[in-house]
Structures are given as structure tokens and as C-alpha cells.
Amino acid sequence: MPASGLFISFEGIDGAGKSTHIAALADAFRAAGRSVVLTREPGGTPLAEKLRELVLNDAMDPLSEALLMFAARRDHLQQVIEPALERGDVVLCDRFTDATFAYQGSGRGFDVGVLRQLESWVQARPDSTQLRQPDLTVWFDLPPAVAAQRLASARVPDRFESQPVAFFERVAAGYAARLNESPDRFARIASDQTKASVWQQLQQTVEQRGWLRAAGAPA
């Protein structure tokens, strides 16, 4: 019997340092014999990647922004995430719906009621009354001022990365609100620490759920 699929999303403000840890976790799952699908939002399919280009670079009103995020998500769910979970793969997704609540809802101040409606349409499943949600959401929680310092020396910013620290304070509050709504789904990782310590927290989080054995631990 194939292993049951596992859906893990990763969240945090820009500069929180998700990428290297997602790649390391993918390696750990592969080493444990699992098939891993590494993907991201907005994006993950040819159509959703086109929408990503638009939404990260072109000016638009907040409703258009929210609609494009959820349009990209719908395609991604149907083309990539659901089939992978059906096969029993581990899906590691760099951002998912919590980012829309944090960035468009809390950051931009867009109507959260509309976001909930879109979430309920886009994440509906034909065979269940429950919405598709990640089995685990890892929130890399980093103080916005620290993230801003890290980003300043990095790359050319997109529409979101160029926002002021106050915007990221609101985004972080948005993540905290989502965690409070679904505490069992979320794991908050204190990310103002060394890379090694952040990795250790992430490993523990996954091992606690029985999804990976501790390295070197007996079977």
C-alpha cells in the first residue's frame, strides 16, 4: 500500500529564510524513501507561473491581486498538488493560502470575508466536506526589522519585497491570526537564530509528527 500523501506549506515574511530549509527537508524526505514534489505559490504550473509574473510585477487593485492568487492556486491544486497527494507523495509548497490572508488580508487590508469565500471555492474537494488544507504549515517567524536588514543586501525587490517594515509587521500579525485559528495545523519556528538552530526546530517538528525518523535513530 502506498504511503499516504503529505502536504506541508512554508510561510513567513520576505527574508525569513525559508528556501534553504525547504530544500534540506526535501532531501531528508527523499533519504527516507519518499517521493517529494517541491513547489511554490504563486506558481507551480505553467499557467500559475504566468499569473505569478503578473501579480508580482504589475500594479493592480487588491481584489484583482486576490483573484489572481486564488486563480493560480486553483490550477496548482488541480494540476499538481491533488495528483501528488493521490500518489502518496510528499508535497512541500513554498507558501499557500495563509500567505494570501497575511499579505492581501492583513498587509493590504483587503476584506478577509472575501478571502474566506475564495478559499472555500478554490479549496473545495469533490469527495469531502472539508477544504483541502496543508497537513502542516511551518511559519518561519522573523522580526520584520531583521528581515528588512537581510533583504537590503540581497536582490532587486518585487512589489511585495519593496514594502516598508510596517507592511511586514501587519503581514506577521496576519500569520499569527491564522495560527490562532488553526493551532494544530501550524508550527511556529523562531527564525531569528542560526541556520542550524532553525533546521533543528524544523526537523523536530516533522519528527514529532512521526513523518521522519531522527537521523541515526533505530527503525
Binding residues among 108-147 for ligand TYD as defined by CB under 6 A: none
Nearer to ligand TYD, 32 or 151 (CB): 151
CB of 209 to ligand TYD, least distance (A): 24
Minimal distance, residue 162 CB to ligand TYD, in Å = 10
- Cell 527574508 belongs to residue: 15
Helix H or strand E segment including 65 = helix 62-76
- In contact, 87 and 132? CB cutoff 8 Å: no
Residues 2-61 that bind ligand TYD (CB under 6 A): 14, 40-42, 56
- 27 grid coordinates: 532531501
User: Which DSSP string do the residues of 147-214 spell out, in sequence order?
Assistant: HHHHHHTS----TTTTS-HHHHHHHHHHHHHHHHH-TTTEEEEE-SS-HHHHHHHHHHHHHHTTSSPP
Figure out which of the listed residues 89, 94, 119, 141 binds ligand TYD, where binding follows CB under 6 A: 94
95 lies in the site for ligand TYD, by CB under 6 A = yes
Question: Between 31 and 157, whose beta carbon lies closer to ligand TYD?
Answer: 157
Residue span binding ligand TYD (CB under 6 A) among the ranges 29-37, 74-82, 157-165, 211-219: 157-165
Positive/negative CA dihedral, 121, 42, 29, 180: negative
Residue 160 vs 199, nearer CB to ligand TYD = 160
Strand pairing category for 136-141 and 186-190: parallel
- Per CB under 6 A, residues contacting ligand TYD are 14, 40-42, 56, 69, 94-95, 99-100, 103-104, 158, 160-161
